[in-house]
Amino acid sequence: MTVAGLLDALASSEPTPGGGTAAAIAGAMGTSLLVMVTGLAKSRNNTDDEKAALARAREALLPMSGRLSTLADRDAESFNAVMAAYRQPKATDDEKAARSKAIQAALAGATTVPLDTLRACAEVLAQAPAVAQHGNRAAASDARVAVGLLRAAAAGAHANVAINLEGIKDEAFKTATAADAARLSSAADRDASAALQALD
């Protein structure tokens, strides 16, 4: 999909793609910017230790932009599945039961995708303090933009987890997922703050 096509699709009143997709793409852009910083010829002080730390961060970061892109697509698919479940027939008791089961399964999927987006953003942000500390100062504003986008992506993914959890009846799943999301958000915020501090 082209960038212009994505922007048009987000703006259309069709239900997908929506915020979950936009959050994942923002996270992927932030990841790509961090990858860029780890690939510059010069590190902050040009020491071997610093270059080794950036190489380790780069290795961890390289698969993550693609993973977030995939999650952007899966977010739209999972929400389409929720709407398809709601459209199932509900004339008989059997149909009602089957529809309710399908809705619950689809909502669980639509919760798991943004949770995975949040997890991916948290994993990327775990590398951000090292990138901020050791990366070339000439790219400091790129690193700052990256961290801001990843923090916004994580918060956006968390909002999508929360809204889809509202419709889920399985209390154990709700509690476990909400706790997982809260833990990942805290870690993401902590790492984002540490990275921004290293850029000041």
Give 91's DSSP letter: S
Could you tell me which residues come within 8 angstroms of residue 114 by beta carbon, excluding any fewer than 6 positions away? 20, 23, 75, 157, 158, 160, 161, 164
29 vs 178, beta carbon nearer a copy of itself: 29
The candidate with the shortest Cα–Cα distance to 199, out of 126, 139, 118, is 139
Subset of 86-145 contacting a copy of itself (CB under 8 A): 139-145
Nearest approach, Cβ of residue 141 and a copy of itself (Å): 4
Q: Are 99 and 164 in contact (CB under 8 A)?
A: no
Which of 76, 146, 181, 188 forms a contact with a copy of itself (CB under 8 A)?
146
Place of tokens 């090292």: 130
> CA 3, 8, 76 angle in degrees (round to 5)?
85
Stretch that binds a copy of itself, among 65-73, 127-135, 168-176, 183-191 (CB under 8 A): 65-73
65 binds a copy of itself (CB under 8 A): yes
13 binds a copy of itself (CB under 8 A): yes
> How many C-beta atoms surround the C-beta of residue 77 within 10 A?
14
Does residue 63 have a cis peptide bond before it, meaning omega lies within 30 degrees of 0?
A: no
Stretch that binds a copy of itself, among 11-19, 81-89, 101-109, 171-179 (CB under 8 A): 11-19
Stretch that binds a copy of itself, among 46-54, 91-99, 102-110, 148-156 (CB under 8 A): 148-156
> CA 147, 59, 118 angle in degrees (round to 5)?
40
65 vs 177, beta carbon nearer a copy of itself: 65
Q: Are 37 and 131 in contact (CB under 8 A)?
A: yes
Stretch that binds a copy of itself, among 31-39, 47-55, 89-97, 105-113 (CB under 8 A): 31-39
Which positions lie near a copy of itself, rule CB under 8 A?
1-4, 6-8, 10-13, 18-20, 22-23, 25-26, 28-33, 35-36, 39-41, 65, 69, 72, 139-146, 148-149, 151-152, 155-156, 159-160, 162-163
